[in-house]
Amino acid sequence: MPTQHALLTASGAHRWMHCTPSARLEEALPDSTSEYAAEGTLAHSIAELKVRKMFVEAMGTRSFNSKMKKLEADPLYQTEMQTTTDEYLDYITGIAMSYPTRPYIAVERRLDFSRYVPEGFGTGDCIIIGGDTLHVIDYKHGKGVVVDVENNPQLMLYGLGALEAYSVLYNIKHVALTVVQPRADGDSIKEWTIDRDKLLDWGVFTVRPVAEKAFAGEGEFCGGDWCRFCRARNTCRTRAGQYTALEDFGSKTDTGKLPVPPLLSDAEVGEVLKIAVDLEKWVSDLKEYALTACLEGKEIPGWKAVEGRSSRSWDNQDEAFNVLSTGGIEEAMLWHREPYSVAQIEKELGKKTFNDLVGAHVLKTPGKPTLALESDNREAITMKPSASEDFGGERIG
């Protein structure tokens, strides 16, 4: 997989389109790669290998197995990666089979969208062109952040890059974007189609002016949910500034003359909570930053790094258990056997196999009510009786 990065990446578009100076600010900050990102890269390599073998190149089983073995030897490898990448391969196979003749298929294709974004390029996981439709399919291994496909700027930029590369050769009228995210809650496959001309308009009239600003480091800093993946997120002053809004609730007056009521209104509770949700994330980012700084020997006034709670383990479990057994301790005192949870078994088998084999045996009990933002996809629930329940079947009249 190519590792070179552009300043204005497609994956960061959601951020730099909202906060244009963030790209240049990030440039000066170190890029810390998380273990999750490294796991994602490994899963992508497995997915790529499978699609290559199936559609792109003549690869003998021996060569495929040896390549797969190398990937499986990675310390970050998990068997779940086989089932999630199978789901991705199945989806691609389904698209390919939906055409009467074999469509064009490319994997890990470098896509140049510099016509719209200065020096912009990225890598499309899988491109399929069948009939008058260009498919851009993106595999997401993460599960923490559920990725939407509609108006997703990353995929739209890949779409623009793919149009740039293939429009001369193919008569493309529609661009179908797909996110395959097998480990996320909810639908693991999300599709959205946009007309070619609409996408081109978006590139010229929406992206290009914003991207030029971002490339020049101009515009206003603007915080939002896009801050969480920004390299400046820990110490960004704008992000910190958002939370001073909480202080205002203590001193605010309606007109400057009237005293404020002693209790917060429901509208204020809603407002405070919206800020507080991000505040929680921000505080955790700050803690992580300060801990790293302290461990590096820097001074964060008022704070220091200390050893956390220690835990105990055996230096040699077999030997220790042997001593216990010979001392008359029964096995039942040393081992306990318990089944894996539904989620763990599904993870090991993959959603499809799991559903085929035991899907019918799974009971779904409603979860505990939880608070969510209005934008959440789940349906709102209430314990309040409806008007008809209120009458409780009483006869009227």
Binding site for ligand SF4 (CB under 6 A): 15, 19, 22, 25, 221-223, 226-227, 230, 232-233, 236, 238-239
β 174-180/133-139 pair status: parallel
Q: Mapping DSSP to helix (H, G, I), strand (E, B) and coil, where does residue 124 land?
A: strand
Distance CA 351, CA 188 (A): 10
Give the CA distances from residue 4 to residues 106, 119, 120, in Å, rounded to whole numbers and listed in that order.
Answer: 19, 12, 11
> Residue 108: which region, alpha, beta or left (left: phi > 0; alpha: psi -120 to 50)?
left
Shortest separation between residue 138's beta carbon and ligand SF4, angstroms = 22
List, edge to edge, every strand of the sheet that includes 121-130: 104-112, 121-130, 133-139, 174-180, 189-195
Shortest separation between residue 240's beta carbon and ligand SF4, angstroms = 9
Q: Comparing C-alpha atoms, which of 215, 153, 207 is closest to residue 24?
A: 215
Which CB sits closer to ligand SF4, 220 or 338? 220
Which CB sits closer to ligand SF4, 208 or 228? 228
Which CB sits closer to ligand SF4, 221 or 249? 221
Which CB sits closer to ligand SF4, 29 or 68? 29
Shortest separation between residue 239's beta carbon and ligand SF4, angstroms = 4
Which CB sits closer to ligand SF4, 19 or 136? 19
Instruction: Identify whether the C-beta of residue 168 lies closer than 8 Å to the C-beta of residue 211.
Output: no
Shortest separation between residue 26's beta carbon and ligand SF4, angstroms = 7
Distance CA 114, CA 10 (A): 11
29 Cβ contact list (under 8 Å, min separation 6)? 231, 232
Shortest separation between residue 302's beta carbon and ligand SF4, angstroms = 23
Q: Which residues of 215-232 are buried (b: 16+ CB within 10 A; e: fewer)?
A: beeeeebbbeebbeebbb
Which CB sits closer to ligand SF4, 49 or 227? 227
